[in-house]
Chains A and B, each alone.
Chain A
């Protein structure tokens, strides 16, 4: 790309030629890439034999679209003298506090605003699909942030502990009739126990070896859940898990015994349970946040960050690296366990399908996109990624453009994957570029995220 000297200069003739060249290249590349895989489609005919059908119009349209898009991107870029190095959002400690306070108030008000705007039935979707769903991932992101962002250990099997939490509640409640409020701490304890069991042998591994072993453990736990049918009912999963109660008062439309509605003299509505679930996950997520922030100031939390910065220095100073890593691992697992048992009580159904590697990858992507170690960034990234994919469910209007057999939902994960790539290219250091060290001289001040190491564990 030619660098123009005058910033005010509009796109000149040479720029247009250049843009045309680049666009032609992109179009040729797109045409080459789509040659067999998109141009032809192998479908079964009536005799169940595979036959190919060609779709030249589709490929032509796509190539044309890429040509036009590339052309305008190059024109747009050549209008600038230098490419602005994207740096992300900087948040100073003072604005961070105000921002957090505002966010908490907004989050508390959110279900009521939605209820007021869309009514008792319309708001179900908004509170459930957007509110609760995003908050689950915020909580998981904060939990994984302890492991990846603070201690610098790359964990690709985080979803295993989420599964342990979910199955703990599902099994304990259906087999032994224990209530959610007893199972919630039990699920956390079991998950952190599993974190210790799995963590202990592998934490002396480093870097990508640790990553692949954690991935393997994640898959092992999922495969045990699939194959050990006597224990977990295999692929079919566990259904009819008891719903959450308001500290013992069930959310039911039943006059024979005391329920939430009758106790508070309300009419029964399903939205009451949803709002309660919303506040439950909000409380759990905030618990994760505050526990993490407090622990960062304890010796163990400082040891995590020191370990991320320089493991050899840590060992020389007498920090027990195994114990330090293990605490990070099991504490992160505990929060995943809480989130998992919440997931089970919210869905009323768990199956191994909910705990695939894609989930681990999504949570890790949230942590990295948010900016490793930045709590507020993780929350933003979760809202962006999960909220964004939920919004893709609402693209039904595209049916009017592309015809009724067009199904936008099948493009959801396609866009999700492409979005991950694009966001990494433009924000490799995460959305929030600043970090707040937990220790400082005289006054709290932020540092650039580039000064924070990512660890090798």
Chain B
């Protein structure tokens, strides 16, 4: 029971990070029907930007109050990553809008290769470790085989994710931007005819996706305390897996998928073997899709003749 509770905590925090990245995938897919392969690398880039802001604030500006440093670093990373993703969309994807399906996909894969190698060249190939100031933990249960603990960073991750998702949900449901997004998702041409600025909506979608990925990147940096230029691929793929598992195009599905992938991964590591945790996540994806071909919450594709 203790082990179960502990792994539940770990799984939920990991799943929250996956969920935040997965929203970026699923939103872009919903609107322009493109798998944004570079999103995992945008996440990695955001963690690097957060790291640089963190070091700048502590070393150059001498700020010592760590919670403030982290909040400022995360905000800075959200801003700069948004600019990056906006530029990426402008340069690599917008010229290919309305082109056939595989061209933007290849462009996104090229962008992904470019971003990870750009960070490698700009920041060097080594791991960048930082110490976690929120590493202290609260003991939840005593006795038993071991104490179930929850570190402050876990609490922060869960609280931040819930707050962001609530704000995000409100934005999609109740603001004009959210309405334009949903309109573009249903029928881009018709939305354009009715006066929705499609280019602006798509750009803003990429910006929001990047901002959420930047939060995920900052939280990831805070929790794991290390980042490397190659760290974009696996979390990115897992987040994409989460988006597909939840039903790509569905926002609650992305979060649900993220949580499931996080939980599967940690429980598999705890009860079976750490080596095969990624295999477990991918296998469950394959098995789920065989029985539910459009994911858990996705709408089944209607074939029209």
Q: Which residues of A contact B (CB under 8 A)?
A: 29, 32-33, 35-38, 40-44, 50-52, 148, 154, 201-202, 204-209, 211-213, 215-217, 219-220, 223-224, 227, 312, 357-358, 361, 364-365, 368-369, 372, 410-411, 413-414, 416-421, 424-425, 428-429, 454
Contacts and interface: CB of A to CB of B under 8 A. Distances in A.
Interface in B95-122: 95-96, 99-107, 109-115, 117-122
Nearest to A32: B83
A287 to B, nearest CB: 26
Nearest to A228: B275
B240 A421 contact: no
Given A42-B123, A208-B29, A50 B55 contact: yes
13 contacts: A37-B119, A37-B122, A43-B124, A207-B301, A212-B35, A220-B282, A361-B113, A365-B109, A368-B105, A414-B114, A417-B110, A417-B112, A424-B106
A212 B92 contact: no
Given A208-B244, A213-B289, A312 B303 contact: yes
Nearest to A29: B87
Contact of A205 (B95, B112, B289, B303): B289
Contact of A202 (B83, B106, B286): B286
B100 A424 contact: no
Given A42-B55, A52-B55, A208-B248, A33 B119 contact: no
Contacts of A414: 114, 117-118, 121
Interface of B: 29, 35, 45, 48-49, 51-53, 55-56, 59-60, 76, 80, 83-84, 87, 91-92, 95-96, 99-107, 109-115, 117-124, 126, 128-130, 233, 237, 240-241, 244, 248, 275-276, 278-279, 282-283, 285-286, 289-290, 293-295, 301, 303, 305
- For the complex of A and B, 4 pairs with smallest distance between CB atoms: A420-B110, A417-B113, A417-B114, A428-B103
Contacts of A32: 83
A424 B103 CA distance: 6
Contacts of A209: 244, 248, 289, 293-295
B251 to A, nearest CB: 17
Contacts of A410: 117, 120-121
Given A36-B56, A36-B80, 9 more contacts: A40-B52, A40-B55, A205-B289, A205-B293, A212-B240, A223-B278, A410-B120, A416-B113, A417-B117
A200 to B, nearest CB: 10
A44 B126 CA distance: 9
A32 to B, nearest CB: 6
B155 to A, nearest CB: 26
B252 to A, nearest CB: 18
B106 A364 contact: yes
B139 to A, nearest CB: 30
Contacts of A312: 303, 305
Contacts of A35: 80
Contact of A212 (B76, B101, B117, B244): B244
A372 B103 CA distance: 11
Contact of A50 (B87, B92, B128): B128
B114 A421 contact: yes
B101 A454 contact: yes
Contacts of A29: 87
Given A35-B80, A216-B282, A428-B100, A223 B106 contact: no
Nearest to B35: A208
Contacts of B130: 50
A51 B54 CA distance: 11
Contacts of B96: 424-425, 428
A420 B109 contact: yes
A41 B129 contact: no
Contacts of A418: 110, 114
Given A208-B35, A368-B102, A223 B111 contact: no
Per DSSP, chain B at the interface is: helix
Nearest to A418: B114
Contacts of B55: 40, 42, 50-52
Nearest to B34: A208
A33 B83 contact: yes
A40 B290 contact: no
B288 to A, nearest CB: 10
Contacts of B117: 410-411, 413-414, 416-417
Contacts of B123: 37, 41-42
A36 B128 contact: no
A33 B275 CA distance: 38
A41 B233 CA distance: 22
B124 A421 contact: no
Nearest to B298: A209
Contacts of A220: 279, 282-283
Contact of A454 (B100, B121, B237): B100
Contact of A223 (B48, B100, B128, B276): B276
A219 B96 CA distance: 28
A369 B110 CA distance: 12
B80 A365 contact: no
A420 B115 CA distance: 12
A419 B106 CA distance: 11
A227 B276 contact: yes
Contacts of B119: 37
Nearest to A52: B55
A224 B275 CA distance: 9
A217 B303 CA distance: 27
A151 to B, nearest CB: 14
Contact of B52 (A52, A202, A365, A413): A52
A368 B45 CA distance: 27
A224 B278 CA distance: 10
A211 B35 contact: yes
Contact of B111 (A43, A417, A428): A417
A267 B286 CA distance: 55
Contacts of A36: 49, 52-53, 56, 76, 80
Nearest to A36: B52
Given A420-B109, A420-B110, A40 B56 contact: yes
A213 B248 CA distance: 13
A428 B99 contact: yes
Contact of B95 (A52, A217, A425): A425
Nearest to B249: A208
B111 A213 contact: no
Contacts of B294: 209
A35 B80 CA distance: 8
Nearest to B130: A50
Contacts of A421: 91-92, 107, 110-111, 114
B235 to A, nearest CB: 13
Nearest to A30: B87
